[in-house]
Amino acid sequence: MSIKEDIPAIFLDKISPKGLDAIQKCKDFVNDYCLPADELYFKQMSDDPATRWKSTPEITEKLKVKARELGLWNMFLSNHYPEGPGFTNLEYGLMAQYLGRSFVAPEATNTNAPDTGNMELFAKFGTEYQKKKWLHPLLNGEIRSAFLMTEKGTSSSNALNISVSAKLNSKGNYVLNGVKWFASGAGDPRCAVWLVMCKTSDKSGKEAYKNHTVLVLDAKKALSSGKARLIRPLTVFGYDDAPHGHCEVMFDDYEVPTEDTPNAILASEGRGFELIQSRLGPGRIHHCMRLIGAGEFALLRANQRANHRIIFGKPMNQRESFINAFAQNKIDIQSCRLLVLNAAHKIDISNAKVAQQDIAMAKIETPRTILKILDWAIQVFGAEGVSQDVELARMYAHARTLRIADGPDEAHLNQLGRYHAKKYQEADQFFENYKNFPKL
């Protein structure tokens, strides 16, 4: 089947020949290499807590070599960035809907969160030193990174609540105190750099938006100091997602080494809030597109099962309730796809700020929809659906976090509603206009 059938009509003339070629290659790479490799990946993971976090499955590195050969590398870096391969957000979005089918595909193509958002930040705000030291190895897939934002017990979607403190000591070095958690990727033995959202001042009122700063820490040094510690991995449902991991990280008077101090701030002090905002737009779209891939994959799996499941004498794939649910799921995925790609295109022709409401719509609608579909596919499978024998429960657990990460549904919904409600204040005037009905 041509990939053109996977692309809604309205986008067809917006894809460059180069983009189309890469999308096709991406689909083939995922189907032929990544999906079959997923099983191997989990086999190569140790179950033993003693070794589970100390190495990574070797299949990943092999896939990375293959992906680079195919030119499927860093596609997320849209053509706004000179460091990237020159695709639009729309084109990458269409690739991501294949990447999302497979567990290993994002890392295999160096397009996995949170590295993507971190690379964007370094590319946009990094000094030459920071680029050389962190961005280039990240772009090459040699190291990995984490973004330490969320804190326990607060609504971290409101960055003003962030409390991990970084104070300058007499040596002019920042000293960090406090606890972060759900630092995704911090468990990986290759994780070399942490971006840490810290509170560096304590102003109030409107100035409060300048209280936070993103610090760039050498993760290995921090851990070897003993004053920054990976306390434990958090689980998502029952998954620890090793070796990537979602870690709780404690800073206990951790002092940034003097030699690192000159390069320890991203952008400048007090711009944490701004960096956070800038980081989120395209990232949300990436998550959504991968989810759409997960949804399509779930439909494939469900269909495979329905082909063989006989229910009271009739194959499931001929039962009306299956067929109708299947159709509804196709509609729902298509709706999300259009929302997401429309937002991606809007970023391409303007920027993430202009596209904010479109991004919010996609961000709210997609995870919820895909969860519904994954849940349905689990039910199609029966007991097998919740087990490790199919990908669905794992995909579900991951998708569930995306109703929370980067702002919970409710926060986006409320923001969106207030935005539109403001515009609709004009409703009064609109209906007032009736009275001016001209004589005809």
Q: How far is the CB of 202 from its own copies (least distance, A)?
A: 18
Site for its own copies, residues 398 to 427, rule: CB under 8 A? 400-401, 403-405, 408-411, 413-414, 416-418, 420-421, 423-427
Are the CB atoms for 60 and 243 separated by under 8 Å?
A: no
Is 98 or 125 the residue whose CB approaches its own copies more closely? Answer: 98
Does position 284 bind its own copies by CB under 8 A?
Answer: no
Q: How far is the CB of 66 from its own copies (least distance, A)?
A: 6
Q: Token pair for residue 92? A: 């990458």
Radius of gyration of the chain (CA): 23
**Separation in Å, CA 203 to CA 143, 160, 200, 210, 271:** 36, 11, 10, 8, 13
Site for its own copies, residues 234 to 253, rule: CB under 8 A? 234-240, 246
Length of the chain as a residue count: 440
Q: How far is the CB of 277 from its own copies (least distance, A)?
A: 16
Tokens 């998502």, residue located: 236
What phi, psi does 145 have (nearest 5°)? -145, 165
Does position 385 bind its own copies by CB under 8 A?
Answer: yes
Comparing C-alpha atoms, which of 179, 134, 116 is closest to residue 153? 179
User: Of 58-66, 121-129, 197-205, 269-277, which segment contacts its own copies by CB under 8 A?
Assistant: 58-66
Site for its own copies, residues 66 to 85, rule: CB under 8 A? 66
Site for its own copies, residues 335 to 374, rule: CB under 8 A? 335-336, 338-339, 341-343, 345-346, 349-350, 355, 358, 361, 364-365
Are the CB atoms for 241 and 394 separated by under 8 Å?
A: no
Is 152 or 167 the residue whose CB approaches its own copies more closely? Answer: 152
Does position 20 bind its own copies by CB under 8 A?
Answer: no
One-letter amino acid at 148 equals L
Is 170 or 433 the residue whose CB approaches its own copies more closely? Answer: 433
Tell me which of 137, 319, 351, 372 binds its own copies, using CB under 8 A.
319
Tell me which of 51, 55, 158, 169 binds its own copies, using CB under 8 A.
158
Binding mask 134-153 for its own copies (x = CB under 8 A): ----------------x-xx
Site for its own copies, residues 172 to 211, rule: CB under 8 A? 181-182
* C-alpha to C-alpha distance for 99 and 289, rounded to whole angstroms: 9
**Separation in Å, CA 302 to CA 102, 158, 292, 308:** 16, 38, 15, 10
What phi, psi does 198 have (nearest 5°)? -125, 155
Does position 307 bind its own copies by CB under 8 A?
Answer: yes
Q: How far is the CB of 188 from its own copies (least distance, A)?
A: 18
Comparing C-alpha atoms, which of 275, 218, 219, 282 is closest to residue 245? 219
Q: How far is the CB of 111 from its own copies (least distance, A)?
A: 19
User: Of 17-25, 111-119, 195-203, 430-438, which segment contacts its own copies by CB under 8 A?
Assistant: 430-438
Comparing C-alpha atoms, which of 249, 168, 163 is closest to residue 211? 163
Does position 92 bind its own copies by CB under 8 A?
Answer: no
Does position 391 bind its own copies by CB under 8 A?
Answer: no
**Separation in Å, CA 260 to CA 91, 200, 217, 222:** 38, 17, 8, 11
Is 95 or 256 the residue whose CB approaches its own copies more closely? Answer: 95
